Copies of this chain bind each other. A is one copy, B any other.
Amino acid sequence: MTTGASTPRALPAEYPEPLWAQARAALRTRIESGEVKPGSRLPPERELCRMLAISRVTLRKALTALVEEGALRPAHGRGWYVTTPERGDWPNTLESFSETARRMGLAATSRVLRSELGPSTLDEAEAFQIAPGTPVYRLDRVRMLDDVPIAVDESLLPAGVAEGFDDADFTTGSLYDILTGLGHRLAQADTTIEARPADAGLAGHLDIASGTPVLEMRQIVRDPAQRPLLSSTIRYAGDRYRLRTSFARGTGA
């Protein structure tokens, strides 16, 4: 451990995941397994360094990453503390439908309305920066909690991104999980949110009256190279769902 990155170690090479990411994973596991209880203090940095056999700079990069995930919180002269689950979750991300379901102890399922490849319209082609008519994958679903319809999700993906969807189970699976499982990396999500009245079609799917307030969220998700991976419009029945998020401004670090 003297000569910089020349020692990948631990992982059997191949994808030499950075040391700090390995350390982050190790710490995350310990936290999630309950080995270190919420609210309790982590061992001092210098000791963690010895335990994980990494330098302090690298360890701190892992710890900082966990802060952004909402798992840890530093306290200057006192130590690193495990966040109480109650609050401090969902930093800089919208709570996903699946996460909401889990938090409330409900079952998240979907009814697939459409799932097919088809030519893109002008607007869609522009959004994905592809030629109009290029095939895109359409996935329309009614999302439910304990069999109560909550929202209608219309998603659109470039055909290339949707390769491997044949085996996917959209009735229970999360689209995000499926995409990351296929090796896609979601880096950024541009989002707009507004309130609108439900039109007749939407009202029918959600079993509400036409004109009822609906929360409409449009997202374009991009990969680290800024390529659009997914464009989705989700319309939630106004009295059945609430978006939650927590914006952290990282006071610097």
CB distance from A143 to the nearest CB of B (A): 16
Does residue A68 face the partner (Cβ distance < 8 Å to B)?
yes
Contact assessment for B215 and A247 in the assembled complex, using a CB-CB cutoff below 8 Å = no
The contact of A247 among B94, B196, B250, by CB within 8 Å, is B94
Contact assessment for B238 and A213 in the assembled complex, using a CB-CB cutoff below 8 Å = yes
- Size range of the interface on A? 35 or more
CB distance from A49 to the nearest CB of B (A): 17
CB distance from A238 to the nearest CB of B (A): 4
**Oligomeric state, in copies:** 2
Contact assessment for A249 and B191 in the assembled complex, using a CB-CB cutoff below 8 Å = no
Contact assessment for B187 and A213 in the assembled complex, using a CB-CB cutoff below 8 Å = no
CB distance from A217 to the nearest CB of B (A): 9
Given contacts A92-B248, A214-B213, A249-B93, contact A243 B187 (CB under 8 A): no
Does residue A65 face the partner (Cβ distance < 8 Å to B)?
yes
The contact of A239 among B196, B212, B226, B243, by CB within 8 Å, is B196
Contact assessment for A248 and B195 in the assembled complex, using a CB-CB cutoff below 8 Å = no
Does residue A50 face the partner (Cβ distance < 8 Å to B)?
no
- Chain A: residues with CB nearer than 8 A to chain B? 18, 20-21, 57, 65, 68, 73, 87, 91-94, 185-197, 211-216, 224, 226, 236, 238-239, 241-252
